[in-house]
Structure 1
Amino acid sequence: MHANTPKLPVRQLLILAICRFAEPIAVTSYLPYLPEMIESVGVPKAEVAQWAGLTTAVFSFAQAAMAVYWGTTSDRFGRKPIILLGLICTMVLSLAFGLSKSLPVLVGCRAMIGLMNGNVGIIRTMVAEMVQDKALQPRAFSVMPMVWTVGSVIGPAFGGSLARPAEKYPEIFGRSKFFREYPFVLPNIAAGIFFLVGITTGYLFLHETLAAKKGHRDSGLVLGQLLTRPCTRRCKTSIGRATDNERTPLLGGEQEIAKSPQDISRTITSRWRDILNPQSALILTAYASMSVHTMAYESLLPVFLHSPPQHFQDNLDVQLPFKFVGGFGMDSQEIGMYYTLTGIVGMVVQFYVFPACATRFGVLKCVKATSIAYPVLYLLTPYVALVPESMRSVTIFFLILIKLTAAIFNFPSLTILLTNSASSLSILGTLNGVATSVSAIGRAAGPAMLGPIFSLGVRAGYIIIPWWSLTCIAVISAIPVPWIVEGDGFQAQSTDELEPEPEESAAESHPAKHPGNQRRG
């Protein structure tokens, strides 16, 4: 392999992953116990689905309101400080959510978490700034979703097993007045530990990727270097000069990007027409519309699994195959177990299966395949209640796994397509802020619409109503997909300013015909 072949910045991606890790835990841990938590504040059982949807929706609406602001703020002040601020705010507000004793406080905490954290788009921007080579993008852009998958394994497990600890573990927590008074705070305390690890790691070791801020003094990095200096000296002695330093330009890039007057000037003068070019707008439309049905499904499935089962034999209220209402009567611990098991399998799919498929077939074909799979999945979901009891566990497992696999293929692929539709590296912070905002609107709209529809379907005796409504939304969301084109990326528009690509390097990485593939001597 050629010496100048681009490589993934493994250490910085790992540090960014550690920073990211606590957020999926905080976001997913409440899903298994949310129906019980809503019931505990006095909401009637018939309205639980409605309020579960609205609780999820306010978080996404709030995130949508602030995502572009956080993106543009990171373009001005740097990615690292905004990410650390978002982590701190999320940690504090998650604890407040766990301590909530009334519906307004519960909903308000979820809204504030959305307002104070725009890290989704900023982290995507950092990954894009670290990895500009198209051949490396499928694996690079699968790292943060894999972190989300791992967090979504631990999160529901924490939420399901640590909620109501005084009842589940009386020998340990039974005498604690605090945990009897606040039965849902322990999962958030556990998440807070991960937040502290992420904040500390990011402050000490995460490098800034915004070109305009790379030369500035970072007190956190200075402290991190002081703390790790003994280990660094030993490593240098044993390894010598064989290993690249983390600060070595990834694609001929760090120093080159920092000195590029074009990037600096475009940061100042970029306009919305540069950000929302036709392809970017089309991808954002697909991203938002797919967020509607995927998040609605995520919010409805725990309610469906928690709903009491219905007896189908000799029941006058049941008229198969359309009129029936079936649930499984699961508690939060059982629901969390299913999410954990499927998440473990999802980790393998995320880091091995998706990059291989994306490399072989292309990310656009992955999006097209999932846009077909979603409607079929939603159409069949309510009929899981009719499966014989001996097969229900396996059926529910594969139901959740198929949905997870579709999301693993869909959203990283859309993120890569969006990144490569950008006209300049300097606008990625704002573009990803817009992406976070529109997807948050979709994630808010889905649960907000489908929660009441779910309650209506249960009252009417037709559990298929919310799921088939999701099917219709999924079909509509697939409409923009045939018009999406896989772009060459922002680098292709700057080739006239750069040296010709060496033939040997081009032969080794044909899909990535970008100036970033060059190492300058």
Structure 2
Amino acid sequence: MSNDRKGPKLPVQQLAILGIARFAEPLALTSVFPYLPEMIASFGVEKTEIARWAGFTGAVFSVAQSITAVAWGKASDRFGRKPILLLGLANTTVCFLLWGIATSLPMAIIIRAVMGGGNGNVGIIRTMVAEMVPEKSLQPRAFSIMPLVWSIGSVFGPAFGGFFARPADQYPNLFGRIEFFKRYPFALPNLMACVIFLISFTTGLLFLKETLHTKRHQRDWGLVLGEKLTRPFKRPSPRPTGRRLSFVDAEASAPLLAEPSANSSSENLATPKEEEQKTRYMDLFTHQTTLCLVSYTFLALHSVAYDQVLPVFLNYPNVVPDETNTRLPFCL
């Protein structure tokens, strides 16, 4: 009776892997904010123009990401969620390395735009969570994990960027004699962040399972390699006497995807494609979805705008009050 009472469980392992991949997004977005005004100033930009170009350079990431989000979503429908997710992580890693050694304002803007436009993982990860957890009773807990990861990354990102920026000046005993960090003072936080991106990429490549219904039964060489690497560290378990659980293995009770029934046929597998073709793009914008999108847009606008404006404001030089008028502007 205890086994009957056990309901479906969350795919904790797969959600954790997605969380690691999700952590790279806020890190890439927010880690540049603490040193962005100083980086813009190092390009020879005038002091009166630093705030403007710092805001533009920071915003071009999100603008490019929003423009290409739908295209990346369609690509994941065709090629699979996992390949597109890994491609976005690889793009972020390469662009972050180039961003750390940027030597001019146009170079920095182009790299930032490519970094955002080449990464559509925000929507793809949310789609994978929905496909991993089709149970309505478990979806609130599953979807709450990714915002939690974003909040942690938003805290860790700025502290990470500010701690490792200009290492030759902040830590002369450790990095003062390294010519590379003198020439590229903002390279160290990007190098350190790339280590996290590589961990996310490697973890996703070796252990993340495909969730797209048309691709999940294909052979995944990354999973095969991950299985071989972890086999010596696993305890041998008795083989099940019933049917073979090929997709979820140890997380068989977790609703990663609804398994096809015994009466499923090739016609049933083709049904999602037919429904997808009949669905028009404008059909998605119902009254309820439009309200949700507008509300979320204003929420993100206020949140991200505050995060980006604050470091620019703190970097602004103090104004020395005039001797003839020592009263502050806000004084009555």
TM-score (norm 1): 0.57
One-letter code aligned to 1:189: L
State whether residues 66 and 118 of structure 1, in contact with CA within 8 Å, keep that contact through their aligned partners in structure 2: yes
1:36 is displaced (CA, Å) by: 0.9
Q: In the aligned structure 2, how far is the partner of 1:96 from the partner of 1:228?
A: 33
Offset, 1:311: 7.1
- What is the CA-CA distance between 1:92 and the residue it aligns to? 0.4
State the shift of 1:103 in Å. 0.8
Mapping of 1:187-266 within 5 angstroms?
187-232=189-234, 234=235, 236=237, 245-246=249-250, 248=252, 250-251=254-255, 253-256=257-260, 261-266=270-275
> Does structure 1 conserve the Cα–Cα contact (< 8 Å) formed by 2:61 and 2:113?
yes
Q: CA offset at residue 162 of structure 1?
A: 0.8
**1:128 Cα shift?**
1.0
Q: Among 19, 43, 51, which residue is 1:17 paired with?
A: 19
Contact 1:249 1:255 (8 Å CA) reproduced: no
Whether contact under 8 Å (2:132, 2:256) holds in the other structure is no
Question: For the structure 1 residues 90 and 154, does the alpha-carbon distance in structure 2 shift closer, same or farther, using more than 3 Å as the test?
Answer: same
Q: Which residue of 2 aligns with 1:161?
A: 163
Q: How does 1:131-146 map to 2 (within 5 A)?
A: 131-146=133-148
In the aligned structure 1, how far is the partner of 2:251 from the partner of 2:122?
A: 24
C-alpha separation in 2, matches of 1:131 and 1:273: 26
Q: Which amino acid aligns with 1:105?
A: M
Q: Does residue 1:302 correspond to 2:311, yes or no?
A: yes
CA contact (8 A) 1:86 1:118 kept: yes
Return the offset for 1:317. 6.5
CA offsets per residue over residues 35-73 of structure 1, 9 Å max, x none?
111111112222222112111221122112211000011
Partner of 1:459 in structure 2?
Answer: none
Write the mapping of 1:38-57 to structure 2, written as runs, cut at 5 A: 38-57=40-59
Local SS of the residue matching 2:237 = helix
Sort the Cα spacing of 1:86 and 1:286 in 2 relative to 1 into closer, same or farther, 3 A: same
Structure 1 residues 61 and 317, CA gap change in structure 2 (3 angstroms): farther
Structure 1 distance, partners of 2:272, 2:222, is 26
Contact 1:53/1:296 (8 A) holds in 2: no
Over 3 Å counting, the alpha-carbon distance change for 1:228 and 1:319 in structure 2 is: closer
* Counterpart contact for 1:35–1:49, Cα < 8 Å: yes
Matched, 1:91 2:93: yes
* DSSP-derived class of the 1:172 partner: helix
1:212 is displaced (CA, Å) by 1.1
Which amino acid is 1:288 matched to? T
User: What residue in structure 1 maps to residue 130 of structure 2?
Assistant: 128
Deviation at 1:283, TM superposition (A): 1.4
Matching residue of 1:286: 295
Match of 1:428 in 2: none
The TM-score with structure 2 as length reference comes to 0.87
Write out aligned runs for 1:1-12 (5 A): 3-12=5-14
Question: 1:494 corresponds to which residue?
Answer: none
SS at match of 1:236: coil
- Kept in 1: contact 2:62–2:116 (CA 8 A): yes
- Equivalent position amino acid for 1:282 in 2: L
Flag the 1:319–1:122 CA change in 2: closer, same or farther, 3 A. same
Contact 2:133/2:256 (8 A) holds in 1: no
Aligned residue number for residue 186 of structure 2: 184
Distance 2:18 2:256 in 1: 21
Amino acid at match of 1:255: E
1:120 Cα deviation from its structure 2 partner:
0.5
- Secondary structure class of the residue paired with 2:260: helix
The equivalences for 1:239-388 within 5 A come to 245-246=249-250, 248=252, 250-251=254-255, 253-256=257-260, 261-309=270-318, 315=325, 318-320=328-330
Alignment CA distance shift 1:166-1:281 (3 Å): same
Select the residue among 62, 66, 69 that pairs with 1:67.
Answer: 69
Distance 2:188 2:256 in 1: 47
Q: In 2, distance between residues paired with 1:301 and 1:84?
A: 32
SS at match of 1:308: coil
Deviations 1:47-105 (A, max 9, x none): 22211211122112211221100001101111000000000011000111111111111
Q: 1:236 to 1:178 in 2, by over 3 A?
A: same
Of all paired residues, the percent bearing the same amino acid is: 51
Offset from partner CA, 1:449-484 (integer Å, 9 cap, x none): xxxxxxxxxxxxxxxxxxxxxxxxxxxxxxxxxxxx
Partners in 1 of 2:116 and 2:327 — Cα distance?
41
- Unmatched 5+ stretches in structure 1: 323-521
Identify the residue that residue 419 of structure 1 maps to in structure 2: none
Measured after TM superposition, the shift of residue 173 of structure 1 is 0.9
Q: 1:260 to 1:7 in 2, by over 3 A?
A: farther
204-213 vs 223-232, which moves further: 223-232
Partner Cα separation in structure 2 for residue 155 and residue 87 of structure 1: 16
From the superposition, tell whether residues 214 and 312 of structure 1 become closer, same or farther in structure 2 (CA, over 3 Å). same
| Higher share of residues assigned helix | 1
- Secondary structure of residue in 2 paired with 1:105: helix
Q: Structure 2: which 5+ runs fail to align?
A: 243-247
Structure-2 residue corresponding to 1:109? 111
Summarize deviations over 1:329-365 as a string: whole Å, max 9, x none: xxxxxxxxxxxxxxxxxxxxxxxxxxxxxxxxxxxxx
